[in-house]
Amino acid sequence: MKRDIAENIATKEKAIKDIDNYLTELLGKDDDEQAKAGKLSAWLEKFINFLRFENKFNPTGLKRYKRGEVVKVHLGYNIGSEEGGLHYCLIADKNNPQSSPVVTIIPLTSVKPDKDLSNLHPMEVYLGNELYTKMNTKNNTIVKKIEEEVTTLEEIIQNAQEEKSKEVDLKMVLDLKKRVNALKDQIALSKRIEKEILKMKKGSIALVNQIRTISKMRISDPKRNKDVLSGIRISDEKLDLIDREIIESFTNYSSKID
């Protein structure tokens, strides 16, 4: 046992030394390599936090994820052509129980300016502007509800002022406070959505060849039903295209079958 402990300590010290030397080496190079050092350091910190939390993780505290929903995932530090970092992904599972600690996802990537959409690589599925459009639609719906509620509250206040009643209706006051707080929550959500939209690019591509199963701990949004990406789902038409690509690429069945 003591020998095992000594070996583990030696392995740990060597690993820390290797990491430190590699990061120091990157920081002494050009801007791209320095950025690489920053990304790797950030991921190592995030990864350690995941490890510390994994024994306490309870997936039932999260929303239930459904096929075609968009999630934002910490994919980690990539090697080679792997997708890495904080990325939009699609839920691939047909029926993922809320109690399951894992879920299968398909990473998305934004369309680059020089991308030839008529000549996509194998297992790439163009999703168009659906993600961008659906986020805008969600935010517009929230803003409309906010405006309607503000109008209603203004009318209530106006009526109360016209009555000039000295008696305060406690129940009405409590109801107004509750509605105002709900309104504040909706405004805050709208601001978060607007911030997310500003970072988005309009075109998205599903990278079917990078489908993978991940721990739900890696999902940063949505965790709850009222989060920014909650309710954002790709259309059945686009999901059918992805299904055909999966069948064609990973099975012996033909995707051309109706």
Interhelix angle 2-27/31-53, nearest 10 degrees: 150
* HEC assignment per residue over 55-120: CCCCHHHCCCCCCCEEEEEECCCCCCCCCCCEEEEEECCCCCCCCCCEEEEEEEEECCCCCCCCCC
> Is the same domain home to 96 and 111?
yes
> Is the same domain home to 222 and 116?
yes
The helix (run of H) or strand (run of E) holding residue 222 is none
Ramachandran angles phi, psi of 17, nearest 5°: -65, -45
> Which of 179, 199, 219 lies at the terminal end of a domain, its last residue?
199
Count structural domains, the chain: 3
> Is the same domain home to 6 and 117?
no
pTM, to two decimals? 0.88
pLDDT tens-digit profile, the chain (258 residues): 666 888 999 999 999 999 999 999 999 999 999 999 999 999 999 999 999 999 999 999 999 999 999 999 999 999 999 999 999 999 999 999 999 999 999 999 999 888 888 888 889 999 999 999 999 999 999 999 999 999 988 888 777 766 665 555 777 778 888 888 999 999 999 999 999 999 888 799 999 999 999 999 999 999 999 999 999 999 999 999 999 999 998 988 865 545
Integer Cα distance of 187 and 196 in angstroms: 14
> Which of 148, 173, 199 lies at the terminal end of a domain, its last residue?
199
> Is the same domain home to 70 and 42?
no
Integer Cα distance of 156 and 160 in angstroms: 6
Two structure tokens written together for 72: 């934002």
What CATH number is associated with residue 109? 2.30.30.110
Ramachandran angles phi, psi of 54, nearest 5°: -60, -35
The helix (run of H) or strand (run of E) holding residue 213 is strand 212-215
The helix (run of H) or strand (run of E) holding residue 204 is strand 204-207
> Is the same domain home to 52 and 67?
no
> Is the same domain home to 94 and 210?
yes
Integer Cα distance of 217 and 19 in angstroms: 25
Ramachandran angles phi, psi of 242, nearest 5°: -65, -40
Task: Give counts: helices (H), strands (E), the chain.
Answer: 5, 7
| Domain limits for position 31 | 1-56
Omega prior to 107 cis, within 30 of 0: no
50 touches 217 (CB < 8 A): yes
Q: pLDDT at position 121, please?
A: 86
